[in-house]
A and B are shown apart, each in its own frame.
Chain A
Amino acid sequence: MSLQALNAPFAVSQPIKATLSVAVVSMMLALVGCNKAETPEQTTQGETPATETETTAAPADSEQVVTIYSSRNEQLIKPLLDKYTEATGVKVELVTDKAGPLMERLKAEGDNTPADMLLTVDAGNLWQAAEQGLLQPVASETLNANVPAKYRDPEGQWTGLSLRARTIMYDPSKVDASELSTYADLADPKWKGKLCLRTSNAVYNQSLIASMIENLGEEKTEQVVRGWVDNLATDVFSNDTSMLEAIAAGQCQVGLSNSYYYGRILDEKPDFPVKIFWANQDTTGTHVNISGAGVVTGSDNPDGALKLMEWLSSDEAQGLYASSDKEYPVKEGIDESEMLRSWGEFKRDDISVQKFGSLQTQAIQLMDKAGYK
């Protein structure tokens, strides 16, 4: 066998060889280039840099950058942060990921973290971040004035910034509002084959169950959850939006969802055939959770972070939470958007939200035991 024959069947053609080598070389160059390109940028991250790329004479304040680690959806929170930059000239850097990985990142980075603020949903997450020493206590007159105490950490490590009500949604063509009452009532056999739920892996359900453990006790709550599972019309859903669509399509008649998911669908489809019902009005009130923030322990710019948090609790920002995100303002007396007003006033469950954090483990274990997937 000649060497040519060995070579022939798998020979890579000359142009491809050339392309490949060009590709390799350019990648290596790109790699070097990237690192070089980073250096000037990185120097601007830390202390005050002498020269910025933007040489426009901005006020001294704008030299400051607030870096946020956020598990909040970018398109929902970015418009608010852009408003802040517009108003104050302070630049806001946003790093998004899930809450868990962000906390690990904060832990690993320790005192040298570039983050100033942790922004996340669910009181349980904020409570955990505080437990793990990732947040520092702050004392702010403004936050104290704007945010009711039950939505804040007693030590000031985190603050709620918006409220999210988790309540009953129903198909008005099949269900009369008078048939509805409490979360626990959905365990009644009359709802057999008519209930849709989102997965128990969702932190919103975990917090709801935590609040029920607090209100009803563990034993009763477990009975309720078992009843829910028995009443399910179909496998649980991976998100609230799909569950709402299922009610609209007639797969089931009742379900549990955060109110803003419903609001966002209504924004796009005003005729969406699902109605909202405020649960537990005659008893403990509708379950509300928070989205919120805290100043990171290792922050280089805690004042900047606090100022931003104070601004987020201001009338302007709170109004935006209501109008663009369909969440409820945490501050009282804010003019809610027309859509939120149309859903009516409702009594809110008064449990301090930090309970959700401490009861989360118990809640998940309970759902696992009850067979709620």
Chain B
Amino acid sequence: MITIPKASNPQDDMADTDLIVRKDRTSLKRVLSKSVLGLISLFMLIPIMIVLLSWTQPMADIWPHMGEYVLPQVLKNTAILLAMVTVISGSVGTSLAWVTSMYRFPGQRFFSWALMLPLAIPAYVFAFVTVGMVDFSGPLQTSLRELGVTTAIPSVRNVWGAGFILSLAFYPYVYLLARQAFLSQGHRAIEAGQMLGLSRSRVFFRLALPQALPWIIGGLLLASMETLADFGAVSVFNVDTFTTAIYKAWFGFFSLTTAAQLAALLIGVVFIVVIFEQYWQARRGSITAQSSNKRLTSNAAAKWGMTLLCSLVFLLAFLVPFLQLLYWTAMNYRQDFDARYIDFVTNSLLIASMTTVLIAFLAIIIAWIKRQYADKSTKLMTTLANLGYVVPGTVLAVGVFIPIAWLDNQLIAFGITTKQVLSGSVIVMLLALSTRFMTVSFQPIDRQLQRLTVNQEAAAELLSSSPLQRWRQVVLPVLSPGVLTALLMGFVEVMKEMPITLMTRRQGWDTLAVRVFEMTSEGMWARAALPSLLIVLVGLIPVWILLRQSEKHS
């Protein structure tokens, strides 16, 4: 509820002198805002700069080898993976979002939230569960052979298998963001379309889809960046990508320089993509938030078709891997489950919550400043602040660790401290994780902020007495679904994250993901099921919260 303030603000009597004062204030505000943005971007950029600086070092002599024997395969695989994830995640995510938000069909209420659940399963877990299940020696093919079926099922341990699993693991990004768009604007589009006599599919392709595109592309951007940075899943499938090439240069050839140079190339590619995306987004303009509760009607066959589609995706992307984890856990928990798990869970929860809140807070600031000053330098800084997501976790961890350790060593050298206080502290973990996941928060918040129209803002400026009030009464209400999505996605991401946590945690600060690493590093997949299952279960909490929220709106 908004109480309309009395228009007694002296500044509202616009005397000429006031105008000058205002102008001064705006320029001051501008400088201030930009410095804040610059500071945040710089903060986020340090680890990436460390990586980029590698190009100032001479090319290692393994470059010709990498160029001839490694990179061609890497580029091919990366292209296939990106294409698969974009097409499959994009179409699956968008169509599921469309049917669950626009139609009533058997199971619609259930699926509208259940289809978010795969978000809680880390891609590396999804990968080892899949390979464990469907490989030649897995239960599926073994029982088929026992039944006398000897037809060879093609191996999944290749780029196609990896692409399929990554698509299933990452479609929820598209689903979540697209659903947010459809829920609030789809009905209007349909009403308008129907009035104009357009068919269903034309309404979707001509009206609803174009309007929801910024959201869908935001989701696809997350999915593709996640694909580019993935190491765990592709190594289970043994597919060479940019990330594995980086690891090969580093762990195999012990040339961190080459590894960093490869990472810098990767960042360069993504930088171009992101710039293009922003340019494209900017041309779309802002979209009004509107909503209605009406649902579309459809015939029975179509309804059951929707149920079937949702069931299939839910089964493949969540239920089957979840049940397999449950089964493995049941078989193995006695060996591993002990009191330490209380620590693992609390540590995971704590670091995920802290990071999530921090990045949501920073993302709001960045998105707001970006909205106020849509010039080139602002856009550039925003882009830079969001690049961390594409840097493979381990490389980013090194980028964070080197400056922090340097700072620590300086503090010790100058006698300010006697030992390291920063390295291995929660602050470093927070910093590294924030750098990595900033964009996960930024995407939904930025998209949501685009819905705040200039008119709304102007009305608010007219009616509210203070900026704070304006924020509370107009901006935050519009922003809150985006913030919630940001919190949910950030939380789940940090829960799942492995390499940064491994590198930056202090002694004894083990999380569930660290446990998964301990087990999978020796190929003990069945024993990795217990911590994996807990990651999924804890990750479901925010999914459930978000669901309750989105139900209130729909």
Contact = CB atoms under 8 A, between A and B. Distances in A.
Contact of B419 (A95, A108, A112, A361): A112
A4 interface: yes
A10 B553 contact: yes
Interface string B215-238: 000000000000000000001111
B290 A109 contact: no
Interface residues of B, number: 90
Contacts of B502: 96-98, 101
Looking at B1, B238, B240, B460, which has the most chain A CB atoms within 10 Å of its CB?
B238
A24 B291 CA distance: 29
Nearest to A16: B549
Contacts of A238: 131, 157, 235-238, 523
A262 B419 CA distance: 44
A89 interface: no
Contact of B456 (A6, A114, A203, A249): A6
A206 B254 CA distance: 13
Contacts of A42: 419, 421
Contact of B238 (A67, A237, A360): A237
B500 to A, nearest CB: 10
A85 to B, nearest CB: 14
B537 interface: no
Contacts of B503: 97, 101, 105
Contacts of A56: none
A241 B524 contact: yes
State the main secondary structure of chain A at its contact with B. Answer: helix
Given A34-B350, A238-B157, A364-B248, A199 B406 contact: no
Contacts of A35: 425-427
Interface in B385-405: 394, 397-398, 401-402, 404-405
A303 interface: no
A105 B256 CA distance: 12
Interface stretch (B312-320, B376-384, B514-522): B514-522
Given A96-B514, A238-B235, A38 B354 contact: no
B184 interface: yes
Contacts of B142: 249
Contacts of B405: 105, 108-110, 112
Contacts of B289: 6, 9-10
Contacts of A251: 136-137
B193 interface: no
A99 B254 CA distance: 11
B474 interface: yes
B507 A248 contact: no
A3 B402 contact: no
A236 B420 contact: no
Contact of A104 (B256, B354, B430): B256
Contacts of A116: none
A45 B419 contact: yes
B114 interface: no
B281 interface: no
A292 to B, nearest CB: 17
Interface of B: 1-2, 4, 62, 65, 69-70, 131, 135-137, 141-142, 155, 157-158, 184, 235-238, 240, 244, 247-248, 250-254, 256, 289-291, 336, 350, 353-354, 357, 361, 394, 397-398, 401-402, 404-406, 408-409, 412, 418-421, 423-427, 430, 456, 459-460, 463, 473-474, 477-478, 480-481, 484, 499, 502-503, 505-508, 514, 517-518, 521-525, 549, 552-553
Interface of A: 3-4, 6-7, 9-13, 16, 23-24, 27-28, 30-31, 34-35, 38, 42, 45-47, 67, 73-76, 93-101, 104-105, 108-112, 114, 128, 131-132, 199, 201, 203, 206, 234-242, 245-246, 248-249, 251, 261, 360-361, 364-365, 368-369, 373
16 contacts: A3-B463, A27-B357, A31-B354, A46-B418, A95-B505, A96-B514, A101-B394, A101-B503, A108-B401, A111-B409, A235-B155, A236-B157, A242-B131, A242-B523, A261-B523, A360-B254
Question: What 9 pairs between A and B have smallest CB-CB spacing?
Answer: A239-B523, A249-B137, A108-B405, A245-B137, A241-B523, A368-B69, A251-B136, A12-B480, A100-B251
